[in-house]
Structure 1
Amino acid sequence: MTSLTELHEMSDEQLDATAKEAAETLFRLRFQSQSERLNTPSEIRKNRRLIARVKTIQTQRERAAQNA
């Protein structure tokens, strides 16, 4: 799990890749949870929150670029 400071230090491309990877993982976890029992159901919540954090940082950077 990446921390918030690590996410802030990432480039825009790295953030995009992280969000895409987390979304794919979330899809697989949701599919798995419907077909069989998950070993760690908390992984779904962790991935959802990671995606939200990345999107928040991306939005903050976009707004900062617009204001500059």
Structure 2
Amino acid sequence: MKASELRAKDVAALEKEVTDLLKAHFGLRMQKATQQLTNHSQLGKTRRDIARAKTILAQKKKEATK
């Protein structure tokens, strides 16, 4: 997911996005552990998406407190 798409969302939507990404990442980790994961690059992509969403969420929360 692109940063511009995430910046368009509000805080509640970003929090939901982070939880959805964490669940997806957990599912991928379980697939890797059971050797069912075929595309290992998905792990890195979801990890980066989580970090991107958390960063934008923190920025929006900081702006809200100002």
Q: What TM-score, normalized by structure 2, do the two folds share?
A: 0.88
Larger relative contact order (Cα-Cα within 8 Å, sequence gap ≥ 6):
2
Q: Distance in 2 between matches of 1:29 and 1:54?
A: 18
Q: Please, what is the CA RMSD of the aligned residues?
A: 1.1
Report whether the alignment pairs 1:58 with 2:54: no
| Segments ≥4 residues shifted beyond 2 Å | none
Deviations 1:2-25 (A, max 9, x none): 211000001111111111111001
Q: Secondary structure at the match of 1:39?
A: coil
Equivalent AA in structure 1 for residue 6 of structure 2: L
Q: What percentage of aligned pairs have identical amino acids?
A: 30
Q: What TM-score, normalized by structure 1, do the two folds share?
A: 0.86
Deviations 1:18-61 (A, max 9, x none): 11111001001101101114111111111111110111011111
Q: How many residues align?
A: 66
| 5+ long unaligned stretches in structure 2 | none
1:26 equivalent in structure 2: 25
Q: Distance in 2 between matches of 1:14 and 1:39?
A: 30
